[in-house]
Amino acid sequence: MSQRNSESAPPDIYVGLLFVSLAAVITGIIFLMLELRSYNMLFS
């Protein structure tokens, strides 16, 4: 399988979905950091 993917394949819809999921994870992390900040448990 890695042999088949060794060739550079053009980005498809799934790559876009991965970025979207990455953005969602980052957004969620930001929300949790803001929540922790209110308890002075972050960078304190």
Partner 1 sequence: MSFVGKILVVVQLVLSVLFMALAGAVFAVHTNWKTKYETQTTALDGAQKDVSNMRAELDSVKQSSQKSVDDAKAQVGQLSEQVQNLTAEMAALRKKNNEDQLELQTQVALAETKAREAVFRATEADEQRAANRALQTALDEVAAKLRQNEDERVGQKVEYENLKQQYNTDLVALAYLKKIVKRHGLETDPKIVAKLADPPPPLDGLVKEVKLDRTNSPKFVEITVGSDDGLLIGHELDVMRTGVDGKDPQYLGKIKVVQLYPDGAVCEVLRDKAKNGIIEVGDNVTTKL
Residues that bind partner 1 (CB under 8 A): 1, 9, 12, 14, 17-18, 20-22, 24-25, 27-32, 34-35, 38-40
Nearer of residues 6 and 9 to partner 1, judged by Cβ: 9
User: Are the beta carbons of 36 and 42 closer than 8 angstroms?
Assistant: yes
For 15, 27, 41, 42, the CA distances from 6, given in Å and listed in that order, are 16, 32, 45, 42
Smallest separation (angstroms) from partner 1 to the CB of 44: 12
Tokens of 12: 């498809």
Smallest separation (angstroms) from partner 1 to the CB of 12: 7
